[in-house]
Chain A
Amino acid sequence: MKKILLYVIITITAFFMLSPMLWMVSTSFSKDSIIASANIIPRDFTIENYIKAWNFPKVFDKSVTFGTFFLNSVIVTACLVVGGLFVDSLAGYVLARKDFPGRNVFFYAALATLMIPIYVTAIPMFLIVRGLGWINTYEALIIPFLSSGFGIYMFKQYFQTIPIELEEAAKIDGYSDFWIYARVIVPLAKPAFGTMAILKFMWSWNMFFWPLIVTTDIKMKVLQLGLTMFRGLNVTQWGLLTAGMTIATLPPVIIYIIFQRYFTGGLMAGSLKG
């Protein structure tokens, strides 16, 4: 009896937590109606909203649609994940394995970056990006965030758990440090790369403040910025609006569900050991 009660409570809570999203998905499959509904089962099932949302907004520039924003986000996210993993793991490798003057200074500098929120540096960052002529470019969206203190820290910690004997053998055979990094360390550190890739994906896909200040051209807007253009629809076209939000929400949710073991594991290691 007590056990049934537990399941009832926990199921109701889970339903309550998911209800905003269930409502969003349901409304996105319903025919547009001016009068809102609190249903979580679609009325007059249709996929029309998705087709319309994908071709929205076409207001200032006919060629710019939701697809443009989506593609921009894919490009920026892909560069930040691939480039970021490379830059962070390179630095993490020498910090984990090598001894050289200033090693600790470099390590603590990486940790110090974690204490500095973007809002504190945003204005000089904006001035630098403007000075470089990067406003409305992919460079502005990618380069400032290619390295992360958290990533360097995570890679350093993970590399230290790999036995050093393999590297020493390669060293005696005359291979360079970069060869050892690329051919010995990287293949052995797949779990660390997996976890960091997912964290970087989530972060890059959902980033908002920085793109907001460095992109003014509608062609360069990433998905999160493009979404704000849907706000004007909140009086009438709820189906179209929720379809757009569902598309934007889908990639992180799918990634999370597939890789959740890595995801929560990495999240906890980072937040609790730090």
Chain B
Amino acid sequence: MIVTNKKEKMGYYLFLLPAYLIFTVFIFWPVIHSSYLSFFKYNIITITSPDFVGLKNYKFLFNDEVFWTSIKNTVIFVISTVPVKMALGIMLAMLLNRKDLRFKTFYRTCFYIPVVISMVAISIVWMLLFNPGPNGVVNILLSKFGVKPLGWIADSNLSLLTVMLLVIWKDLGYIMVIYLSGLMRIPDEIYEAVALDPVSSWQKFWYITWPLLKPTTIFILITQIIESFQVFTPIYVITEGGPGYSSTTIVNYLYQKGFREYEMGIACAVAYLLFVVLLILTMLQNKISKAEEIRYD
């Protein structure tokens, strides 16, 4: 090792300065300030400085029906989209992982393209595809099977479902790619060991592949739950939370309170409740992935 002097060590902090200055101003300070503001009434249009109100913002949320609706919608969104995405993702990965399949890169590209395209652009296309009434593309296709035109984004029973279909379709390729990398790390010898035994491919999947994929599955499950809890863009673009509040999620509610009604205190309280949930999930993931690593090695 080369001996370093004090002046040189000071230089190291200069390397860190730009990154950590930005972190401090735009992440660490806002995290603290956000919790502080959640105890204040602060409407940036009507009042100039925040008024301390204690737990009033949290009480307001607790009694606000729209807030509860947004939680209900978010939970429905998470528990419906995540398992479907994962089930379809693992099926695609199993198909693509077959040794005798050619044009693998081509197929993987087809499945992955929806992941990279802009959520806003595809959401607007989705509005056309799921246009209510007889002119909507999906309705035209359904009519060939004798199904009457559905209201989709204009129907409060179907609006959230329409967005869920979009998100499942868009994220499928991502889940598939992660599962593929998990599958590729399973050594061939494990399958060779049972090659002479009379086992079906279903048994092979259930007793060998699935247990070995457990770390991948847990990783995808928790990161996807965290991600899905924060769904905002497709709902903002397609339904704006409507009709009524039938597709309003937690982040849509936060946006509404903070940047439409300018009630910063209430919006910060929403942000904090969301943060606590996500933090618990993140810690859970760290804990599980550490335990899995030990077992795996």
Please say whether chains A and B are actual partners in one complex: yes
Q: Mark B37-69, 1 if CB is under 8 A from A, else 0.
A: 100000010000000000000000000000000
What's the nearest-Cβ distance from chain B to residue A90, in Å? 5
Name the residue on A nearest B266 (C-beta): A123
Q: Mark A239-265, 1 if CB is under 8 A from B, else 0.
A: 001100100110011011100100010
Task: Verify A257–B109 contact, CB threshold 8 A.
Answer: yes
Q: Mark A83-97, 1 if CB is under 8 A from B, else 0.
A: 000011011011100
Interface-located stretch among B79-87, B122-130, B186-194, B203-211 = B122-130
Q: List 7 A-B contacts (CB under 8 A).
A: A17-B114, A37-B137, A87-B19, A90-B15, A120-B30, A256-B113, A268-B178
Across the interface, A177 reaches (CB within 8 A) one of B15, B117, B173, B178, namely: B15
Task: Verify A123–B258 contact, CB threshold 8 A.
Answer: yes
A88 to B22, CA, bound (A): 11
Task: Verify A123–B107 contact, CB threshold 8 A.
Answer: no
A13 to B101, CA, bound (A): 15
Task: Verify B113–A253 contact, CB threshold 8 A.
Answer: yes
Taking CB atoms and an 8 Å cut-off, the chain A residues in 59-92 that contact chain B are: 87-88, 90-91
What's the nearest-Cβ distance from chain B to residue A46, in Å? 18
What's the nearest-Cβ distance from chain A to residue B221, in Å? 13
**A272 near B: Cβ within 8 Å?**
yes
Task: Verify B122–A20 contact, CB threshold 8 A.
Answer: yes
A37 to B143, CA, bound (A): 13
What's the nearest-Cβ distance from chain A to residue B257, in Å? 9
**B12 near A: Cβ within 8 Å?**
yes
Task: Verify A209–B232 contact, CB threshold 8 A.
Answer: yes
Chain B residues, Cβ within 8 Å of A124: 29-30, 33-34, 37, 268
Indicate whether A120 sits within 8 Å of B275 (C-beta atoms), given known contacts A128-B26, A231-B127, A248-B121. Answer: yes
Chain B residues, Cβ within 8 Å of A106: 16, 20
Taking CB atoms and an 8 Å cut-off, the chain B residues in 83-130 that contact chain A are: 92, 95-96, 98, 100-101, 105, 107-114, 116-122, 124-129
Chain A residues, Cβ within 8 Å of B37: 123-124
Across the interface, A116 reaches (CB within 8 A) one of B27, B96, B131, B169, namely: B27
Across the interface, A94 reaches (CB within 8 A) one of B15, B125, B236, namely: B15
Q: Mark B141-159, 1 if CB is under 8 A from A, else 0.
A: 1000000000000000000
Chain A residues, Cβ within 8 Å of B259: 126, 212-213
Across the interface, A224 reaches (CB within 8 A) one of B11, B22, B118, B173, namely: B118
Task: Verify B223–A24 contact, CB threshold 8 A.
Answer: no
Chain B residues, Cβ within 8 Å of A224: 118, 120-121
Task: Verify A17–B169 contact, CB threshold 8 A.
Answer: yes
**A187 near B: Cβ within 8 Å?**
no
Task: Verify B20–A35 contact, CB threshold 8 A.
Answer: no
Task: Verify B127–A234 contact, CB threshold 8 A.
Answer: yes
Q: Which 5 A-B pairs have the closest CB atoms?
A: A124-B30, A121-B30, A147-B19, A124-B33, A14-B110
Task: Verify A119–B129 contact, CB threshold 8 A.
Answer: no
Indicate whether A18 sits within 8 Å of B113 (C-beta atoms), given known contacts A24-B125, A115-B278. Answer: yes
Chain A residues, Cβ within 8 Å of B125: 20-21, 23-24, 242, 245
Chain A residues, Cβ within 8 Å of B23: 109-110, 113, 147, 149
What's the nearest-Cβ distance from chain A to residue B40, in Å? 11
Task: Verify B98–A6 contact, CB threshold 8 A.
Answer: yes
**B140 near A: Cβ within 8 Å?**
yes
